[in-house]
Structure 1
């Protein structure tokens, strides 16, 4: 393979384009917000910018995450083959990839209104700081939730040109709590290795109460989304989507009953369908209204 193509391949692995689950988990709340803000199809230019921004910022987040974890990943079975951990990409290259992706995302945001541009600065700050939080406190999942959910007020600002209304912050809360849930499942899969390495996480903090706490958080997510549906005047299709999402939440609790790492990781992955079910309900409501 040509050296330039090999570098691009390693950069693609660095930002995990081969594992798009993170893109999906960031994309769904963004689409929830865009469709509700527009009460149907959003402006196509805004939709393109946000979908591209999701891909770019999730990719940038992976690059800065692997830079932050460069001394940890070589000691974890699941991550030791990542490009930095395996020595195929240097830490400086990872920082350069992060900077370039953020710059491209910011250029796209410049086509939006001033309020959205200002809100995007908070998004970059959250994305850049999240990977380092696991060294300081046991709830980096909350920080990640804020980073992922920040697309919601940005979407409302871009679509309406006004400061996000209360319903936007309801969706923000739902997306933040949802992220804490699925990233705790993810952390449960790595709990034993994280304990050995001294890495902090919600899974370690919750301990034996992890199933109960994630279950309560799932109920809060569903309650928040119920409030969103009520405030937005969404109809039967939305409630059907939310019912499917509730069923998926129960299935995820079933998966983590034994706290087996692979099953916990499967519960994490299953949240793609949770987000898709909620969006399907929103989409069908406005399509068939």
Structure 2
């Protein structure tokens, strides 16, 4: 329970720091996007210097979190910052920035394993890592469809723009790959049978998202994006019950 609470705290801090970096680097772009023009830095409510000081505070909290872990985890977690802080730049450089985001956020599976087990079981971690990348490509592509017109005008790249009218075909493929990888994760980790009903529920939820989302409706894209909390809950619940029943 201590590690669960500790990683919950760490994930909130790191996500917050990543959002701060994103808002700092994208403040000029955010001014051109209807949904983001009211953000504190874009609107001028906060100065870049104030944003930077807040970022330093968040990074110090993150380092404080890492100091509670072993040395291997400390090095991994400190290195992870480079990936998180690079993500906003990817929207200017590559057409698949959502994939880079997936590569980045999914690294948490390695950090968690190194901290708790002090080892890396790649037969379990690699399919889980790949599942995380595919899930990110689903939810963040849906999210990006909210701003695709403004992003295109501003020169920002995204999978929403890259996939265009074929988005749902891509999302379906990523969804199948995600669930298949999670099934392989459960098999390789020898999780007990309760894991699989939860996985089936997660699969149904993902299928519902992809099949019903109206990619031309900003409000519906936002609703489907937020609904991913349930996919995460099903996945976490399955892992927890699968471990407890093993």
TM-score category (smaller protein): over 0.9
Find the counterpart in structure 1 of residue 71 from structure 2. Answer: 114
Report what 2:161 is aligned to: 204
Write the distance in 2 (CA, Å) between the matches of 1:89 and 1:164.
44
Count of aligned residue pairs for this structure pair = 246
Within the alignment, does 1:226 sit opposite 2:160 as a pair? no
Q: Deviations over 1:117-167 (max 9, x none)?
A: 111123101111111110111111111112211111000000111245331
Q: Normalising to structure 1: TM-score of the pair?
A: 0.81
Distance 1:249 1:208 in 2: 19
Distance, in Å, in 1 between the alignment partners of 2:156 and 2:42 is 17
2:12 to 55, 68, 75: 55
* Residue 77 (structure 1) shift: 1.5
Q: Partner of 2:224 in structure 1?
A: 267
- Per the alignment, residue 67 of structure 1 pairs with 24
Question: Who is 1:190 aligned against?
Answer: 147
Q: Give, in whole Å, the separation in 2 of the partners of 1:96 and 1:111.
A: 24
Q: CA deviation at 1:288?
A: 4.0
1:99 Cα deviation after fit: 2.0
Matches of 1:212 and 1:107, distance apart in 2: 43
CA–CA separation in structure 1 for the residues paired with 2:212 and 2:25: 30
- Mapped partners of 2:27, 2:40: distance in 1: 10
TM-score where L is the length of structure 2: 0.95
Per the alignment, residue 133 of structure 2 pairs with 176
Superposed displacement of residue 198, structure 1: 1.0
**Closer, same or farther: CA 64–142 of 1 in aligned 2, 3 Å:** same
In 2, distance between residues paired with 1:174 and 1:46? Answer: 23
The alignment partner of 2:194 has SS state of helix
How many angstroms does 1:223 deviate by?
A: 0.4
2 CA distance for matches of 1:147 and 1:95?
22
Answer yes or no: is the 8 Å Cα contact 1:80–1:86 preserved in 2: yes
* Equivalent residue for 2:109, pick from 137, 148, 152: 152
> Which range moves more in the overlay, 61-70 or 254-263?
254-263
The answer to whether structure 1 residue 237 and structure 2 residue 211 are counterparts is no
Q: Which runs of 5+ in 2 are unaligned?
A: none
User: What's the CA shift for 1:170?
Assistant: 1.6
SS at match of 1:71: helix
CA distance 1:103–1:50, shift in 2 (3 Å): same
Q: Supply the distance in 1 between the matched residues of 2:87 and 2:56 (Cα, whole angstroms).
A: 15
Residues 255 and 266, structure 1, Cα contact 8 Å, conserved in 2:
no
Secondary structure at the aligned position of 1:85 is classed as helix
Secondary structure in 1 aligned to 2:145?
A: helix
Confirm whether residue 285 of structure 1 aligns to residue 207 of structure 2.
no
Mapped contact 1:211–1:257 kept (Cα < 8 A): no
Structure 2 distance, partners of 1:288, 1:239, is: 12
**Which secondary structure state, in structure 1, belongs to the residue aligned with residue 45 of structure 2?**
coil
Q: C-alpha root-mean-square deviation of aligned residues, in Å?
A: 1.4
Matched, 1:125 2:65: no
Equivalent residue number for residue 124 of structure 2: 167
Asked if the contact 1:189–1:261 (Cα under 8 Å) also holds between the matched residues in 2, the reply is yes
Structure 1 stretches of 4+ moved >4 Å: none
